[in-house]
Structure 1
Amino acid sequence: MQRTLNYRGFKIDVDLVPTSKDMFDAWFRIDGPAQAPAVAAPGQRIKVRGGPFSQRWAYFVAEIAGQASIDVILGPDE
């Protein structure tokens, strides 16, 4: 299962991988115009810790993790 959203000029790709009935591991990947030198894994999938999650919660935590990563790259949104 996949979902894509845009945030501050970046694209966040969220992937859910089933682990058991109605439970999923959440992964996200960010792609965007800026390649900051401090970014260790540009374009790489990153697993959200603390799972597995229900489908709705998995999408939510992966989107928030992606947004937080972008906020670290770009700094505060003023």
Structure 2
Amino acid sequence: MMNRQISYRGFEIHVQLTEVAPDMYSVTFQITGHNVGRLSTDGAIVTVQHGPFTMRWAYLVAEIAGQAAIDVLIGPEA
């Protein structure tokens, strides 16, 4: 498994890749920070659909999905 942590607007997006075939990965992400944690619904581990992906695409798709989820939680930037 490969992990990456990305900071965005005061939150952390935790991305985890799991190799499912040679050079192909399934990917999950979790948002933490502020009042969001592992035990809250908002901090749930989310599986990115329509994979598997190459490593670069897996990280990109998870980062964009995590950023979109944070934007929904706290609203658009001013």
TM-score, normalised with respect to structure 1: 0.88
After superposition, where does 1:29-68 map in structure 2 within 5 Å? 29-35=30-36, 41-68=41-68
Q: Segments of 4+ in structure 1 off by > 4 A?
A: none
State the AA in 2 paired with 1:43: G
User: How many residue pairs end up in the alignment?
Assistant: 74
Percent of pairs identical after alignment?
A: 49
State the Cα RMSD in Å.
1.2
- DSSP 3-state at the match of 2:43: coil
2:71 matches 1:71: yes
Partner residue of 2:10? 9
State the AA in 2 paired with 1:19: V
For residues 20 and 32 of structure 2, the distance between their equivalents in structure 1, rounded to whole angstroms, comes to: 26
Shift of 1:44: 1.9
Unaligned runs of 5+ in 2: none
For residues 65 and 25 of structure 1, the distance between their equivalents in structure 2, rounded to whole angstroms, comes to: 14
TM-score, normalised with respect to structure 2: 0.88
Shift of 1:32: 1.1
State the AA in 1 paired with 2:34: P
Unaligned runs of 5+ in 1: none
